[in-house]
């Protein structure tokens, strides 16, 4: 599904990713943990095609295509999804128009006609109920005036709408209360299947109690420095990062 080899990336003159290797197979869930500023969000940004990040070395193969050759829109259309650590507010653009444009962008890429109005509405209904997204939030401008937790729910709602092949969740648990954490995790779990992979970036074991990973990696100073099974997260929770 995803093969990252020797990835180096920088912002301005600062080298942030320094030879990162990671392979994610179909249907797998990989957790990435690591200290603040170690490069987790940078990895997510580089994968999704944020322009301010420059890849200086390495390669990323996404289901047989060279991910780094594509712009952000095409990466999404090919099935990559990033749930933002800090979702963006876009006043004046309704959540619904936003999602319709996104779905139709992908459909056009696949040579399909725009989605039918009724199909779209049904999909909205199904996906919103999956993460218990309030109807009023669906109709408002994208993330405008949403609480921190509501924004995170909206990210997972969008993920469900877009049915990606690979979803990168960047600290989706931060800002969620206990109930919301459960709901959002259930949403993610409901979407797990043998073809869809996840990279879950988090600082806390509590998310991984709900979304149980197949692999756990520690990212430090722009590299994966340790990998293991789900028990690695428990160990990290107990001992911190110093022992690595």
Ligand X SMILES: Nc1ncnc2c1ncn2[C@@H]1O[C@H](COP(=O)(O)OP(=O)(O)OP(=O)(O)O)[C@@H](O)[C@H]1O
**Binding flag, residue 48, ligand X (CB under 6 A):** no
**Binding flag, residue 42, Mg ion (CB under 5 A):** no
Contacted by 196, from ligand X, another protein, Mg ion, none: CB < 5 to 8 Å by type: none
Write the DSSP assignment of 138-194 as a string of letters. Answer: HHSEETTT--HHHHHHHHHHHHHHH--SEEEEESTTTT--HHHHHHHHHHHHHH--S
Q: What is the closest distance, in whole angstroms, from the C-beta atom of residue 14 to ligand X in the complex?
A: 6
**Binding flag, residue 193, ligand X (CB under 6 A):** no
**Binding flag, residue 41, ligand X (CB under 6 A):** yes
Q: Which two tokens stand for residue 200?
A: 């879950």
CB 44 within 8 A of CB 168: yes
State how far the Cα of 220 lies from the Cα of 217, in Å rounded to an integer: 10
**Binding flag, residue 38, another protein (CB under 8 A):** no
Contacted by 14, from another protein, ligand X, Mg ion, none: CB < 5 to 8 Å by type: ligand X
Count of residues in contact with ligand X, rule CB under 6 A: 13
State how far the Cα of 213 lies from the Cα of 79, in Å rounded to an integer: 21
Contacted by 106, from Mg ion, ligand X, another protein, none: CB < 5 to 8 Å by type: another protein
Strand (E) or helix (H) holding 66:
strand 65-66
Phi/psi of residue 24, nearest 5 degrees = -120, 120
Q: Which two tokens stand for residue 214?
A: 């197949």
The one among 10, 38, 41, 185 contacting Mg ion by CB under 5 A: 41
The one among 10, 38, 95, 143 contacting ligand X by CB under 6 A: 38
Footprint of ligand X on this chain (CB under 6 A)? 11, 14, 16, 34, 36-42, 52, 85
Residues engaged in binding Mg ion (CB under 5 A): 40-41, 85
């Amino acid at each position: 599904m995803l093969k990252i080899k020797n990835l180096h990336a920088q912002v301005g003159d600062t080298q942030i990713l320094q030879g990162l290797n990671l392979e994610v197979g179909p249907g797998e869930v990989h957790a990435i943990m690591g200290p603040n500023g170690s490069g987790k969000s940078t990895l997510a940004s580089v994968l999704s095609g944020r322009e301010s990040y420059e890849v200086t070395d390495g390669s990323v193969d996404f289901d047989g295509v060279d991910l780094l050759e594509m712009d952000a829109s095409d990466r999404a259309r090919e099935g990559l999804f990033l749930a933002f650590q800090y979702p963006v507010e876009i006043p004046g653009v309704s959540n619904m128009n936003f999602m319709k444009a996104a779905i139709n962008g992908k459909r056009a890429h696949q040579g399909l006609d725009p989605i039918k109005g009724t199909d779209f509405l049904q999909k909205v209904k199904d996906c919103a109920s999956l993460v218990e997204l309030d109807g009023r939030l669906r109709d408002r401008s994208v993330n405008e005036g949403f609480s921190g937790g509501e924004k995170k729910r909206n990210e997972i709602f969008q993920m469900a709408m877009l049915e990606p092949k690979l979803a990168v969740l960047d600290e989706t648990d931060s800002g969620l209360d206990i109930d919301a954490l459960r709901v959002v995790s259930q949403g993610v779990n409901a979407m797990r299947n043998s073809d869809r992979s996840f990279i879950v970036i988090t600082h806390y074991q509590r998310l991984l109690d709900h979304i149980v990973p197949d692999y756990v990696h520690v990212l430090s100073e722009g590299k994966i420095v340790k990998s293991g099974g789900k028990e690695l997260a428990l160990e990290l929770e107990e001992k911190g990062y110093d022992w690595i």
